[in-house]
Chain A
Amino acid sequence: MNLNYEKSTIELPESWRAKAPILLSAGLILLCIGFLCAFGGSSTGEDNQQGFKYLCHSYLANFVYVFSFTLGALFFILVQFLTRAGWSTSIRRVAEILMMMIPYLALLFIPIIAMLFAGSSALYEWNGKNIHSSVIASKATFYLSKEFFTLRTVIYFTYWILTANWFFRISRAQDESGDAELSLLRQKWAGPLIMLFSLSASFAAFDWLMSIDADWYSTIFGVYLFAGSMMSFFAVMIVINMLLQNAGKIQKLVTVEHFHDMGKFLFGFVMFWSYIAFSQLVLIWYANIPEETFWYQVRLDNGWMTFSYCIIPIHFIIPFLFLMSRHIRRNRTALTIGAVWLLFAHWYDMTFLVMPNAGPAQLVPLLGHFLGGIGMLSIFASMFIWRADGVPLVAMRDPRLPEAMAYTNPIL
Chain B
Amino acid sequence: MGKNTQTNRVTMATIANSFNPREIDNTDDIPGRRAPLVTGNQTYGSVTDIVCRVAEDAQPMLWWVLFGFSSMTAVSFLTLITFLIYKGVGIWGNMNPVFWAWPIVNFVFWVGIGHAGTLISAILFLFRQNWRTSINRAAEAMTIFAVICAGIYPGIHVGRAWLAFWLLPYPSLNLWMWPQFRSPLLWDVFAVGTYASVSLVFWYMGMIPDLATYRDRSKSPLRRMVYGILCLGWTGSSRHWLRYEKAYTLLAAFAAPLVLSVHTVVSFDFAVSQVAGWHTTIFPPYFVAGAIFSGFAMVVTLLVPLRAIYKLENLITLRHLDNMNKIILATGSLVGLAYATEFFMAWYSQNQYEGFTFMNRAFGPYWWAYWTMVTCNVISPQLFWFKKLRTSPFWMVVISIFVNIGMWFERFVITVTSLSRDFLPSSWGYFRPTLFDGLMFFGSFGVFMSLFLLFCRFLPTIAMSEVKGIMSAAAHSEHAEGAHGHNH
Q: Give yes or no for direct A-B contact (beta carbon below 8 Å).
A: yes
Question: What is the CB-to-nearest-CB distance from A268 to chain B, in angstroms, rounded to a whole number?
Answer: 8
Cβ-based interface call for A279 (8 A): yes
Is B18 interfacial (CB-CB < 8 Å)?
no
Check: A289 CB closer than 8 A to any chain B CB: yes
Separation in Å of the A212 CB from the closest CB of chain B?
14
- Pick the residue among B31, B33, B282, B334 that contacts A220 (CB under 8 A): B282
Q: Which parts of B256-292 form the interface with A (CB within 8 Å)?
A: 257, 260, 264, 268, 271-274, 279-285
| Pair A219/B281 contact, Cβ less than 8 Å | yes
Q: State how many angstroms separate the Cβ of B190 from the closest Cβ of chain A.
A: 15
A219 close to B481 (CB less than 8 A) = no
- Which of B109-117, B346-354, B441-449 lines the interface with chain A? B346-354
Asked if A15 lies at the interface with its beta carbon under 8 angstroms from chain B, I say no
Annotate B285-313 by CB proximity to A: 1 below 8 A, 0 otherwise. 10000000000000000000000000000
Chain A contacts for B480, CB-based, 8 A: 1, 402, 406
Asked if B87 is at the interface of the complex by the 8 Å CB criterion, the answer is no
Q: Does the CB pair A402–B245 fall under 8 Å?
A: no
Chain B: interface size category = 35 or more
What is the CB-to-nearest-CB distance from B390 to chain A, in angstroms, rounded to a whole number? 11
Counting chain A residues whose Cβ lies within 8 A of the other chain, the interface size class is 35 or more
Kindly specify which of A93-101, A151-159, A194-202 makes contact with the partner chain: A194-202
Interface positions of B from 21 to 44, Cβ below 8 Å from A: 29-34
For window 178-224 of chain A, which residues contact chain B by CB distance below 8 Å?
A: 180-181, 183-184, 188, 191-192, 195, 198-199, 202, 206, 217-223
Within the complex, what minimum Cβ distance (angstroms) separates B94 from chain A? 24
* Given A220-B285, A279-B284, residue A198 in contact with residue B334 (CB < 8 A): yes
Contacts of A411 in B (CB 8 A): 245-246, 249
- Which of these, B32, B285, B326, B330, contacts A402 with CB under 8 Å? B32
Whole-angstrom distance between the Cβ of A368 and the nearest chain B Cβ: 32
Chain A residues near B245 (CB-CB < 8 A):
410-411
Set of chain A residues within 8 Å of B334, measured between Cβ atoms: 198
A257–B274 alpha-carbon span in the complex (Å): 47
For the complex formed, measure the closest distance between the CB of B256 and the CB atoms of chain A, giving whole angstroms: 9
Specify the chain B residue showing the minimal Cβ separation from A137. B350
Stretch at the interface among B76-84, B213-221, B222-230, B337-345: B337-345
Flag whether B477 is at the interface (Cβ < 8 A): yes
| Contact assessment for B260 and A275 in the assembled complex, using a CB-CB cutoff below 8 Å | yes
Does A107 count as interface, using CB distance less than 8 angstroms? Answer: no
Chain A CB within 8 A of B483 CB: yes
Return chain A residues, CB-CB under 8 Å to B282: 219-220, 223
A118 within 8 A of partner (CB)? no
| Chain B residues closer than 8 Å to A87, beta-carbon distance | 128
Shortest distance between the CB of B481 and any CB in chain A (Å): 6
Q: A135-B350, A138-B350, A412-B126 are in contact. Are A180 and B280 (CB under 8 A)?
A: no
Q: Which residues from chain B contact A188 at a C-beta distance below 8 Å?
A: 1
Given A139-B350, A219-B341, A400 contacting B268 (CB threshold 8 A): no
Q: Is A3 an interface residue (CB 8 A)?
A: yes
B116 to chain A, nearest CB (A): 17
In this complex, what residue of B is CB-closest to A268?
B126
| Smallest CB separation, B66 vs chain A (Å) | 35
The prevalent SS among residues of A at the interface is helix
Stretch in contact with the other chain, from A46-54, A59-67, A280-288: A280-288
- A289–B268 touching, CB < 8 Å: no
- What is the CB-to-nearest-CB distance from A288 to chain B, in angstroms, rounded to a whole number? 8
Check if A84 is an interface residue, CB within 8 A of chain B: yes
CB within 8 Å of B: which A283-300 residues: 283-284, 286-289, 291
With both beta carbons as reference points, the residue of chain B lying nearest to A272 in the complex is identified as: B260
Partner of B333, one of A135, A143, A195: A195
With A287-B272, A411-B249 in contact, is A180–B126 under 8 Å at CB? Answer: no
Verify if A177 is at the interface (C-beta below 8 Å from B).
Answer: no
Partner of B477, one of A139, A286, A287, A406: A406
Does B10 belong to the interface (CB within 8 Å)? yes
- Do A202 and B341 touch across chains, with their CB atoms under 8 A apart? yes
Which B residues are in CB contact (< 8 Å) with A276?
A: 284-285
Instruction: Give bound CA distance, A184 to B342, whole Å.
Output: 35
Looking across the interface, which residue of chain A has its beta carbon closest to that of B351?
A291
Is A399 part of the binding interface, using a Cβ–Cβ cutoff of 8 Å? yes
A286 close to B272 (CB less than 8 A): yes
**Contact indicator A283/B279 (Cβ below 8 Å):** yes
Asked if B31 and A219 sit within 8 Å, CB to CB, the answer is no
For the complex, what is the distance from the CA of A143 to the CA of B345, rounded to whole Å? 12
Of all chain B residues, the one with the shortest Cβ separation from A402 is B484
Q: Are A184 and B10 in contact (CB under 8 A)?
A: yes
Cβ-defined contact, A271 with B257, below 8 A: yes
Contacts A1-B481, A276-B285, A287-B279 given; does A400 touch B272 at CB 8 Å: no
Cβ contacts under 8 Å, B350 to chain A: 135, 138-139
Q: Does A398 contact B (CB under 8 A)?
A: yes
Chain A 1-31: CB-based contact to B (< 8 A → 1; otherwise 0): 1111000000000000000000000000000
Chain B residues contacting A4 (CB-CB under 8 Å) are: 487
Contact of B31 among A138, A184, A192, A412 (CB under 8 A): A184
Q: Which residues of A contact B326 (CB under 8 A)?
A: 191
CB distance from B270 to the nearest CB of A (A): 10
Instruction: Name A residues whose Cβ lies closer than 8 Å to a Cβ of B.
Output: 1-4, 84, 86-87, 135, 138-139, 143, 180-181, 183-184, 188, 191-192, 195, 198-199, 202, 206, 217-223, 264, 271, 275-276, 279-280, 282-284, 286-289, 291, 398-403, 406, 410-412
Which A-B residue pairs are the 4 nearest by beta carbons?
A: A399-B32, A219-B282, A1-B484, A286-B272
Q: List 12 A-B contacts (CB under 8 A).
A: A4-B487, A188-B1, A191-B330, A206-B348, A217-B348, A218-B281, A275-B284, A279-B281, A282-B268, A287-B274, A399-B33, A402-B484
